[in-house]
Amino acid sequence: MSLKHGLLGFLNYGDMTGYELNKAFKDSLNFFWPAHASQIYRDLAAMEKKEWLTSRRIMQEDKPNKRLYSITDDGKDELNKWLTLRNGDEGVCTRDAFLVKVFFSGEKTIDENIKMFEDYRDNCQKALNMRAKIDNNIDEYKKDIVDAQKAFYWMATAQYGSHHYSMCIAWANEMIEKMEAMR
Amino acid sequence: MSLKHGLLGFLNYGDMTGYELNKAFKDSLNFFWPAHASQIYRDLAAMEKKEWLTSRRIMQEDKPNKRLYSITDDGKDELNKWLTLRNGDEGVCTRDAFLVKVFFSGEKTIDENIKMFEDYRDNCQKALNMRAKIDNNIDEYKKDIVDAQKAFYWMATAQYGSHHYSMCIAWANEMIEKMEAMR
DNA sequence: TGGGTCATGTAACCTGTTACATGATTAG
DNA sequence: CTAATCATGTAACAGGTTACATGACCCA
């Protein structure tokens, strides 16, 4: 997986510009796969060279001109190849800088660490609250791209998000409690 | 965070070779921060240039010669800077390719997706079982580096791992159940 | 005699991050 | 008046992945 597959996924729903793709990522996948606009534009250009996409310029008068991308048959093949590819450790092994930091936090005082965990918990709580927004976004998109099938998998990822943050909050609270007992 | 900080963390416990660092990663942090041996050696060289480390060659007769790294005061400063740096979204936003795949899985048949989730669940189960091993490793290291303080934070990350995989398994089962009802 | 452990690296490549640049229109 | 939206990109850099190379010793 790389950003390219995410872009192919969206373009498979219909033609989009880099700007729109950037928004689509922010509105839905951002929690699982953050993307910078600059990378989106760069990868779109690279994918056009590979002939996974074609593009055409759309002239506009009151707004800047834009470039609309369409997925090709090669692009669809690539997307399906990725979708049906069996996952090895994908999803099972997650890179998480916070956990590494925790691992080495024996160097710090308990009070510092309690604060670090409280911060973390609060950030998770904020993220959990924001999930409600994401669910709204999915509901809105649902109206445009009417397809109960698709919507189910969007909801599945949203569900994961909620479970994930709840778990993190519970874990942080457990650890804070233990640290307070140690103090 | 980058691999460099993880390496500094271990070297702060005592001098180590690239080979030993590679094993230390595999035995403990692998689930949160997988590292390739080639990157470890490359980053060690880069860190020596920055004077975060010094190294000396150890000659051996029946085994290949090796290079032992020691952390410098600059290296310790860098480590502490990172450890005490306030986390923004670190830990809150996790990159997870499997979730992206799920998001776009409306393109596939329900049967294919059930299989995908079953695979995922089984991988998580395997990972969960392997956590027992990690716990053993931590117990062993505990004897060498006797420090209850440190051990607590190692256990905290291990706890996270168990919680994480249990949550993933539960989520996958929920989704499989729903998909089976849709079939 | 084949595979695991010990031990270190190089090179090429791919992917992601940060900083910068431009400039019109529109809503508060 | 000022901030947001629309819209696209370049350049440099940092970090991670894959493939390859070497070679001895030891255990089954």
The pLDDT tens digits of the residues spanning B21-30 come to 999 999 999 9
Q: Are residues B71 and B19 in the same domain?
A: yes
Task: Name the residue type at position B27.
Answer: D
Are residues A178 and A102 part of one domain? yes
User: Is B120 part of any domain?
Assistant: yes
Question: Any idea what the CATH number is for the domain that residue A21 is in?
Answer: 1.10.10.10
Chain B neighbors of A171, CB-CB under 8 A? 159-160, 163
Residue A154 main-chain phi, psi, to 5 deg: -65, -45
| Angle separating helix axes A3-11 and A37-49, nearest 10 degrees | 80
Task: Using CB atoms within 10 Å of the CB of residue A183, give its burial: 0 to 12 exposed, 13 to 18 middle, 19+ buried.
Answer: exposed
Q: Is residue B92 part of a domain?
A: no
What is the rounded (10 degree) CA torsion for B169, B174, B175, B177?
120
Element holding B68 (H helix, E strand): strand B66-71
CA distances from A7 to A31, A39, B6, B36 (A): 16, 11, 32, 28
Q: What backbone phi and psi angles, to 5 degrees, belong to A68?
A: -100, 130
What is the mean pLDDT of each successive set of 10 residues along chain A, which is 183 residues long? 93 96 94 94 96 93 90 96 83 88 95 96 90 67 70 93 96 98 91
Nearest protein residue to nucleotide D5 (CA to C1' distance) is: A63
Where a domain ends, among B84, B107, B133?
A: B84
Measured between CB atoms, which of A127, A150, A167 is closest to B164? A167
Residue A59's SS3 state is: coil
Whether B103 and B139 map to the same domain: the answer is: yes
Kindly state whether residues A68 and A122 are assigned to the same domain: no
In eight-state DSSP terms, residue A86 is P
Instruction: State whether the beta carbon of B3 lies below 7 angstroms from any atom of strand D.
Output: yes
Is-contact A154 A136, C-beta < 8 A?
no
From A80, A12, A69, select the one nearest A43 (Cα to Cα).
A69
Token couple for A161: 């998000």
Q: Rounded to an integer, what distance in angstroms lies between the CA atom of residue A52 and that of residue A77? A: 9
Residue A90 lies in a domain: no
**A87 CB contact with strand D at below 7 Å:** no
Statement to judge: residues A115 and A175 lie in one domain: yes
Residues 82-101 of B with CB under 7 A from strand C: 95
pLDDT tens digit sequence for B33-69:
999 999 999 999 999 999 999 999 988 877 888 999 9
Establish if A102 touches chain B: CB-CB under 8 angstroms.
Answer: yes
CB of B86 within 8 Å of any CB in chain A? yes
pLDDT at residue A122 in the model: 93
The reply to whether A70 and A105 lie within a common domain is no
A14 part of contact set with chain B, CB < 8 Å: no
Q: How far apart are CA B26 and CA B21, in angstroms?
A: 9
Per-residue pLDDT of chain B (183 residues; tens, 9 = 90+): 789 999 999 999 999 999 999 999 999 999 899 999 999 999 999 999 999 999 999 888 778 889 999 999 999 999 999 999 887 776 788 899 999 999 999 999 999 999 999 999 999 998 898 877 666 666 666 565 568 888 899 999 999 999 999 999 999 999 999 999 998
- What's the number of domains chain B is made of? 2
Could you tell me if B178 and B105 lie in one domain? yes
| Mean per-residue pLDDT of chain B | 90
Structural domain including B102 reads: 97-182
Q: What's the pLDDT at A47?
A: 97
pTM passes above 0.85: yes
